Amino acid sequence: MNDVQPAPRQGQGPAHYVGGRFDDSGARFPLVSPADGTVIGSVPEADSVTVDRAVRAAREALAGPWGDTTAEERCAVLRRIADGMEARFEEFVAAEVADTGKPASLARSVDIPRGIANFRAYADLAWGRPEQSFATPTPDGAGALNYTVRRPLGVVAVVSPWNLPLLLLTWKVAPALAAGNAVVAKPSELTPSTATLLAEVMDEVGVPAGAFNLVHGFGENSAGAFLTAHPDVDAVAFTGESATGTAIMRATAERLAPVSFELGGKNAGIVFADADFEAAVEGTVRSSFTNAGQVCLCTERVYVERGIYDDFVQAVAERTRELRLGLPYEDDTQMGPLVSALHRDKVLGYYRLATEEGAKIHAGGGVPAFGDERDGGFFVEPTVLTGLGQDARVVREEIFGPVCHIAPFDDEAEAVRLANDSPYGLAATVWTTSLSRAHRVAPRLHSGVVWVNCWNLRDLRTPFGGVKASGIGREGGEHSLDFFSEPVNVCVKL
């Protein structure tokens, strides 16, 4: 039986949101704190009936008031959502921290502000979009007026991961709504809480019923698979593992639904001998260990010019050993736990494999012993490795933990070759003080984004996505609005 609750609903834990109503239906599974391993709540798992109801609610919204909104009205809705999130900022922080175990300072400075900024940015971008039209009425033209209108895709599924839960969900939900689609979102089973708060905000600020729907559950044989395989879902925007992207592509292939995929990475950092040494060390530590290495953009492979290699390895290892691991609300915490016991075991498996493959460990390599409640959490040590060849699994496979492998190179061509020698191509970082070198190297890297002397410096208007196994398509700015709409050419004979 469905336990349908009247809105408004505030802070009662994860629930589905279907057709403007909160709904706790389905078997429940536990929500576990990564910081100490305790059970902190439970989550309802949507079955195929609930997913079907969500898709139907979205379809009905398109046929109802939501489908009739003007761009201006939709932008106003997005701004109201941002305001509503702002008003509950600390609740969002607390929910994100509880689900992920990440430092509260990180949730406060990155996850939640960016989640809010996504709505504001896409309100501005959608409103600022120029209409295209051109006429050729003169004798040398074809005597026609051509213009382009953009239509929404329809019902869009948004499936998102656990590492930056609110940020990555809203990154797709905001442009999808701005472009006039109706959304059914499925956040990660590990991080359902901020998505539920977002549904509460949508409810509070009067987003028309069915424009945004939320279902919880797992991927395979669960809500994720039911949603992406649903015949009435017009497009899928997905962020997660490359292997999941393959599974979703199979599920959508039959009906040829468009997909936008932001997938895994095995990102390279290249440090030239002429780099600002301190900035490169600090930047490498930040790019490898932010969010315990659980950012798709994190650097797991570092290539350093031989002249500074030994000093660089030593400096990064020292800085890594100094990182303070701790609970989310401790002021001096720089790194939290991994998201789950399963993920911790996967990362520790790679630490063991590194030793088996012959790596030298310069920092970390195991599990920290705290002697307090943190020992129940899913902490691993930030780890610095050297000594492996390009064929080692630890150098080829995405680990998605706080670990980097550092290897030397002799010249620019070798650095580019090593960086490009990967099945992935999401992000790369180049550290050099030579302007010419930076501009020479950056476009030769097979990567969706290349940072020069910085890492994860983001402008939401720029194209974002990966090449090779790191993704299909680009999001960000106009690119998101392009994906979430179809251009229609109208040709009027004059």
Binding interface with ligand NAD (CB under 6 A): 159-163, 168, 186-189, 218-220, 224-225, 228, 239-241, 244, 247-248, 262-265, 296, 398, 400, 426, 466, 471
Residue 14 beta carbon to ligand NAD: minimum distance, rounded to whole angstroms: 13
Residue 74 beta carbon to ligand NAD: minimum distance, rounded to whole angstroms: 25
Question: 219 vs 402, which CB is nearer to ligand NAD?
Answer: 219
The answer to whether 236 and 224 are in contact (CB under 8 A) is no
Residue 164 beta carbon to ligand NAD: minimum distance, rounded to whole angstroms: 6
Could you tell me which of 308, 303, 85, 289 has the C-alpha nearest to residue 199? 85
Question: 166 vs 275, which CB is nearer to ligand NAD?
Answer: 166
Could you tell me which of 162, 33, 42 has the C-alpha nearest to residue 98? 33
Question: 340 vs 386, which CB is nearer to ligand NAD?
Answer: 340
Residues 6+ apart with CB under 8 A from 57: 18, 19, 20, 182, 209, 210, 213
Length of the chain: 494
Task: Answer left, alpha or beta for residue 134, where phi above 0 means left and psi between -120 and 50 means alpha.
Answer: beta
Question: 309 vs 378, which CB is nearer to ligand NAD?
Answer: 378
The answer to whether 239 and 395 are in contact (CB under 8 A) is no
Residue 312 beta carbon to ligand NAD: minimum distance, rounded to whole angstroms: 25
Catalytic annotation present for 262: yes
Residue 159 beta carbon to ligand NAD: minimum distance, rounded to whole angstroms: 5
Question: Which ranges of 271-371 does DSSP label H, i.e. alpha helix?
Answer: 277-289, 306-322, 341-356
Residue 162 beta carbon to ligand NAD: minimum distance, rounded to whole angstroms: 5
Asked if omega into 8 is within 30° of 0 (cis), the reply is: yes
Residue 104 beta carbon to ligand NAD: minimum distance, rounded to whole angstroms: 20
Question: 107 vs 317, which CB is nearer to ligand NAD?
Answer: 107
Neighbours of 160 (CB within 10 A): 27
Question: 21 vs 186, which CB is nearer to ligand NAD?
Answer: 186
Question: 173 vs 275, which CB is nearer to ligand NAD?
Answer: 173
Burial class (CB in 10 A: 0-12, 13-18, 19+), 8: exposed
- The vertex-138 CA angle with 133 and 143, nearest 5°, equals 65
Catalytic residue among 96, 200, 262, 475: 262
Residue 166, H or E segment: helix 165-178
Q: How far is CA 325 from CA 18, 112, 254, in A?
A: 39, 22, 47
Could you tell me which of 211, 225, 167, 172 has the C-alpha nearest to residue 191? 167
Give the strands of the sheet with 144-152, arranged side by side: 132-136, 144-152, 485-493
Q: Which residues form the catalytic set?
A: 262
